[in-house]
Structure 1
Amino acid sequence: MGKFKVPHTLTLLFSMMVIAMIATWIVPQGFFATETMANGRAVVVPGTFSLVEERSYLTPWQLLTAIPRAFASAQDVIFFVMILGGVLAVARATGTVDALIGRLLERFGSRPQMLIFMVIFCFAMASSFIGTAGEYIPFVLILVALCKAMRLDAMTAVGMTVAGYGIGYGISAVNPFTLVIAQQIADIPILSGWELRAAIFLPFVLIGFHHVWSYAKKVAQDPNQSMVKDLPCPLGDKHAVDYPNLNWRHRLILGSFVLTIGVVAYNIRMNGWYLYELGAAFIAWGLFVVLVGNISTDTAAKKFIEGAMELTTTAVLIGVARGISLILEDGQILHSLVHGMSMPLSYVGSEVAAVGMLFIQTFLNFFIPSGSGQAYVTMPLMVPLSDLLEIPRQVAVLAYQFGDGFSNMIIPTNAILMGIIGIAGIPYGHWFRFCLPLMVKLMLASSVVLVLAVLFNYGADVQPADLPLQSAVSVAESVQPN
């Protein structure tokens, strides 16, 4: 028997769309009623699940039309990635990236473990506090080049990027896109329970660091141990030996880059900026780079187009990945999946149910990769369920955070992940083999934390005192067959 070969990422994603279409023929179709919150977002109403009166069947033609619709739905991420690719190509043309790599090699060339820890820790802090995700995409090629110069590989670069991103979201301190929304829906004080999240932040970061560094050490000792040794480096085969000095132009460009990231982070938090505004901010930075970098406008235009073209594959993967959840929504089985998985939790003990919530949130993140979107769909169901099982609502929020954040690192429907591995030239199958052991470690650690949180009544001090009975009635109604 020949060795099994993981199919191309595009083949894998399209196959998942086909499976999702077939699932809409089999899984009972139904939906919850929704109500609109003060912020304009819709949340499901517990106890209102009902099956559709007449099943509708998606056809292969609807599957095909879902692909261009998915591209339209994911256009903000797609164009943001292509704009970044173009702007970074302009920045590379000034020699700034090579000069930065040379400077970092001087400092960390003999201590790659310190570099890996710092990247994971800093990225996790940023994701935890301000919910950064797509902002890491500009760093990927820089880290790939740095790892290549340190005799590591692209997988190491992506590993430290994604580990920081996923762990930061999972152990979020004040993330406005996940934690704040979930606590609002749970009707508990915003940012409450931060002490436990702060206490477990470093241990979880160390889990991510240990996984990436263990792999990096093997690659440094024997390049044949690399999971991507059979793949071309996205930066080509050129090995730069003499890096340019970091002159005043390079320093000014780097300083303006940091300033741009700061402006973006501030406005995400204070003014609700997202990918359109982020793209505009990086275009502005690119124009500044052209001005300071002493390159002609024609050269800048050519480099921008080349950089955007390099990410065409990534853009296609992002669009098709969105199509999976689109098929499930069209087939009216998304709410059915949520309803069906929440029912068994009402028959088990509180400790087991808390861990069950983690696995349900992890599984549902495949179909609802948006953190805020998942909160609006699942938390209105998990909150009354936690009341029924005498689990503090704070624990239900924590289970949601773990499930959403950690699984962001591995689900192929996550557009940010597909963008990161696409830029680094890593097929999804290779990434899955690298990330799965880390996911297992994080899931085990988070399960232990949830069990202890239930045992020590984490969040009991902010639990609403007058709601459990009403919530229990809602859950009892919601699990009745329709």
Structure 2
Amino acid sequence: MADAPTLSRFRAPDTTLILAGIIVFAAVLTWIVPPGEYARAEIEVEGVGTREVVVPGSYERMERGDEGVVSRLLHSAAMVLQAPIRGFVDEDAAPIIAFVLLVGGAFAVLTETGAVDAALRRVVSAAERSPTLDVLLIPLFIAIFSLGGAVFGMSEETIPFVLIFVPLALALGYDSLTGAAIPFLGSAAGFASAFFNPFTVGVAQGISGVALFSGAGFRIVLWVIVTAVVAGFVMWHARRVRRDPARSPVHAIDAAQKGKGLVELESGFTATHGAVLLAFAAGIGVLVAGVLLAQWYIVEIAALFVGLGVVMGAVGGLGGNGTARAFMMGVRDLAPTAVIIGLARGILIVLEDGHVVDTILDALASGLGGAGATLAACAMFGIQTAINFFVPSGSGQAALTMPLMAPLADLVGVSRQTAVLAFQMGDGFTNMIIPTSAVLMGVLSLAKVPWPTWAKWVLPLQLLLVTVGLVALVIAVGIGYA
């Protein structure tokens, strides 16, 4: 445990502090970056409505006002202090904030019924008695968690599952890395290659003026590939450790845990649990049909999840008070995400007030335009990857970057759909390794795996996934993915 003291001294800055610092930095940029502006034009986007886009080649510099230094300082201070509240009430951010809170409440009701946990425990118990299931256990559960990440943004929900999968992995002759990886890397794979995740794909497409959950076919193929890569990597490691436990990077740590045995896995899966999961599955089916057939957007989807939460609470026997308490707990848990979205939007408001957003767009377009659409798309992927270290919230990063990346995509000849794809992979892949991810650090804490050990172990997988991401972007540009 020589790494523990170093890890304990590490204090990742809070995301809200980072965003507050970026707001101040944005105000400073308004003093440095020359103001300028593109002409705008309105276009009709199917399933979304009218959207305003920049007109390529129309950028013009603007003259600064003649106010004095003191007046400009006071104005900048006012912009910084007003940015959070203006971010919350902004017409683009407010519906997204409400959507995130309501959907978070509905999923908390599902969790409170115990249906998901009971189903998982029952399947694991059966796998212990079947050699076939023993072989399929890792890819099966990685696929299930990946589906959760792809459909509803499963992320924080994976943390408690570590308490089940680490003891299970040790009992089956694997190691705690395997146990932590099954739920965490599984959901992270789906999160990065999501096709119906409302918190990343939905938010980014809404900001970008792209029809909600459009382009799902390409993303489903990507999801299958990414999930297969992750499952293959974890299975390779697990079999390697089973053959020779000493090859595990956490062999010494696991030796102290193996005597503790498995947690109790036999938990009654009742008809009530089955009914709750059936209701949830039906709700997802309605969501897919509504989006594909009726062009549902944020308001309709949020309403569906509110109703679904009520139904699951009633079927799950929570009662009125229990359902309400669970729902509000979910809202509470998602409140930090809502704050992050508001702060992130506040950054753009400060930049827009200073008329520097279009100047930044013009500079980025000038730097990427000559490289061609393919290289520009790959560069967007790199930019999103770097930003994710500082803003590991998917919704927050979408709110921060997509107002810039979407019009930038127009200027460099990349479809906005491809820009969203670059965002979700740049945001998702590095969530598996960055220490600023609260979910990752929570998982590692429960699994008793030091972050440096995890980072070294997962780095080859990161390189594989980045390669997959770059190839996907090259194909997306080549086929005109839209």
TM-score, normalization: structure 2?
0.65
Return the alpha-carbon distance in structure 2 between the equivalents of residues 176 and 72 of structure 1.
20
Alpha-carbon shift at residue 401 of structure 1 (Å): 5.3
| 1:17 has 2:23 as partner | yes
Which residue number corresponds to residue 83 of structure 2? 66
Return the alpha-carbon distance in structure 1 between the equivalents of residues 368 and 100 of structure 2.
40
Which residue number corresponds to residue 466 of structure 1? none
Distance 1:77 1:163, change over 3 A: farther
Which residue number corresponds to residue 378 of structure 2? 358
Q: Cα RMSD between the aligned structures? A: 5.0
3-state DSSP of counterpart to 2:44: coil
Distance 1:404 1:21, change over 3 A: same
Residue by residue, what CA displacement relative to the aligned partner does 1:171-207 show, whole Å, maximum 9, x if unpaired?
xxxx99989999999xxxx97xx8x988876544444
Distance 1:203 1:247, change over 3 A: closer
Of residues 65-74 and 354-363 in structure 1, the stretch that sits farther from structure 2 once superposed is 354-363
The residue type equivalent to 2:190 in the other structure is G
- How do residues 41-440 of structure 1 correspond to structure 2 at under 5 angstroms? 41-54=51-64, 59-73=76-90, 74-106=93-125, 110=134, 112-119=137-144, 122=147, 135-137=152-154, 140-141=156-157, 143-151=158-166, 157-168=183-194, 202-209=224-231, 241=264, 243-347=266-370, 354-360=374-380, 362-363=382-383, 369=398, 376-383=406-413, 400=419, 402-409=421-428
Which residue number corresponds to residue 236 of structure 1? none
Which residue number corresponds to residue 173 of structure 2? none
The residue type equivalent to 2:161 in the other structure is L
Distance 1:32 1:104, change over 3 A: farther
Alpha-carbon shift at residue 244 of structure 1 (Å): 3.2
Alpha-carbon shift at residue 35 of structure 1 (Å): 0.7
Return the alpha-carbon distance in structure 1 between the equivalents of residues 353 and 76 of structure 2.
11
Contact 1:166 1:405 in 2 (8 A): yes
Of residues 241-250 and 311-320 in structure 1, the stretch that sits farther from structure 2 once superposed is 311-320
Higher helix share: 2
Which residue number corresponds to residue 170 of structure 2? none
Return the alpha-carbon distance in structure 2 between the equivalents of residues 206 and 382 of structure 1.
32
Distance 1:306 1:379, change over 3 A: closer
Return the alpha-carbon distance in structure 2 between the equivalents of residues 219 and 331 of structure 1.
57
Return the alpha-carbon distance in structure 2 between the equivalents of residues 28 and 436 of structure 1.
40
Return the alpha-carbon distance in structure 1 between the equivalents of residues 11 and 208 of structure 2.
40
- How many residue pairs get aligned? The number is 405
Alpha-carbon shift at residue 251 of structure 1 (Å): 0.9
Which residue number corresponds to residue 14 of structure 2? 8
3-state DSSP of counterpart to 2:274: helix
Contact 2:203 2:398 in 1 (8 A): no
Alpha-carbon shift at residue 364 of structure 1 (Å): 6.8
Return the alpha-carbon distance in structure 1 between the equivalents of residues 320 and 146 of structure 2.
38
Distance 1:288 1:306, change over 3 A: same
Alpha-carbon shift at residue 280 of structure 1 (Å): 2.1
Return the alpha-carbon distance in structure 2 between the equivalents of residues 11 and 177 of structure 1.
22
Contact 1:176 1:269 in 2 (8 A): no
Alpha-carbon shift at residue 213 of structure 1 (Å): 6.6
Alpha-carbon shift at residue 214 of structure 1 (Å): 7.8
Distance 1:342 1:92, change over 3 A: closer
The residue type equivalent to 2:29 in the other structure is A
Alpha-carbon shift at residue 261 of structure 1 (Å): 1.1
The residue type equivalent to 1:48 in the other structure is S
Alpha-carbon shift at residue 105 of structure 1 (Å): 2.0
Return the alpha-carbon distance in structure 2 between the equivalents of residues 119 and 65 of structure 1.
43
Alpha-carbon shift at residue 108 of structure 1 (Å): 5.5
Contact 1:85 1:311 in 2 (8 A): yes
Q: Which runs of 5+ in 1 are unaligned?
A: 230-238, 384-392, 463-482
Of residues 202-211 and 253-262 in structure 1, the stretch that sits farther from structure 2 once superposed is 202-211
3-state DSSP of counterpart to 1:47: coil
3-state DSSP of counterpart to 2:428: coil
Alpha-carbon shift at residue 70 of structure 1 (Å): 2.0
Contact 1:108 1:114 in 2 (8 A): no
